[in-house]
């Protein structure tokens, strides 16, 4: 599955940080019940890789990826855990080759036109725009579009349900990433009904 196909699966990719891997299957089931088929689990806690394994085993229809990927060791760990795709906060030429060799779909982050051009030279045409608001938000993405018309983006960073439609309305945006379909307190409390409701609203977002 290539990264564009993954990003086209829905308008929002929940970006989540999980402290207890036992909660991951319940979270994934709630998101899927709400119409979201893709989840990014960040490598910010010791539970992240076990959370990926649990989702792959118990909710196999969920497309699960690893976020905050920074080095080759994490690439190997992501593959071993069963991740389908990987997301990095920035662009690292060495990681592009390592992730490709591992067979993962890859979404590296960029913030500037120079970084986007470097990623394009590396053969990438689908990028994360991060942190979106700090990098110019919808205005920045709209300015990039005519000079790099073949590049598509998933903006992430500071995006909520209220401003997601403005990003999704841009021709060079495939989807947005954010925590708003699965807030940290709802995950912590195991409030799957709330997450299902938020996921349903997120899945219905259109620009």
The answer to whether the CB of 40 falls within 8 A of the CB of 66 is yes
For 136, the domain range is: 3-201
> 207 lies in a domain?
no
Active site residue 133: no
What's the pTM? 0.96
> 20 lies in a domain?
yes
The share of the chain scoring above pLDDT 90, in percent, equals 99
> 173 lies in a domain?
yes
pLDDT in tens, 107-164: 999 999 999 999 999 999 999 999 999 999 999 999 999 999 999 999 999 999 999 9
Tell me the pLDDT band of 66, cut-offs 50, 70 and 90: very high
The CATH number given to whatever domain includes residue 164 is 3.20.20.70
Catalytic residue among 40, 73, 80, 115: 40
Q: Which residue has the tokens 């997301």?
A: 87
Structural domains in the chain (count): 1
Closest CA to 162 of 137, 180, 183, 186: 180
Catalytic residue among 29, 73, 115, 128: 128
- Cα(first)–Cα(last) distance of the chain, in Å? 25
Residue 207 has pLDDT above 80, yes or no: no
- Reduced to 3 states, what is the DSSP secondary structure of residue 92? coil
Neighbours of 2 (CB within 10 A): 11
Residue 206 has pLDDT above 90, yes or no: no
> 41 lies in a domain?
yes
């Amino acid at each position: 599955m290539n990264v564009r196909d993954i990003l086209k699966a829905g308008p929002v990719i929940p970006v989540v940080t999980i402290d207890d891997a036992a909660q991951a299957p319940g979270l994934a089931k709630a998101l899927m019940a709400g119409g979201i088929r893709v989840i990014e689990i960040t490598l910010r806690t010791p539970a992240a890789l076990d959370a990926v394994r649990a989702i792959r085993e118990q909710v196999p229809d969920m497309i699960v990826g690893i976020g905050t990927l920074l080095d080759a060791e994490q690439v190997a760990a992501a593959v071993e855990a069963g991740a389908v795709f990987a997301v990095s906060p920035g662009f690292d030429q060495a990681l592009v080759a390592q992730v490709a060799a591992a067979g993962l779909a890859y979404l590296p982050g960029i913030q500037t036109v120079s970084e986007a051009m470097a990623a394009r030279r590396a053969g990438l045409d689908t990028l994360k725009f991060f942190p979106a608001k700090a990098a110019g938000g919808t205005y920045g993405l709209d300015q990039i579009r005519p000079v790099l018309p073949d590049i598509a983006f998933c903006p992430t960073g500071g995006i909520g349900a209220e401003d997601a439609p403005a990003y999704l309305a841009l021709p060079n945006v495939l989807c947005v990433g954010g925590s708003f379909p699965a807030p940290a307190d709802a995950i912590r409390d195991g409030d799957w009904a709330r997450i299902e409701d938020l996921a349903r609203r997120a899945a219905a977002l259109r620009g």
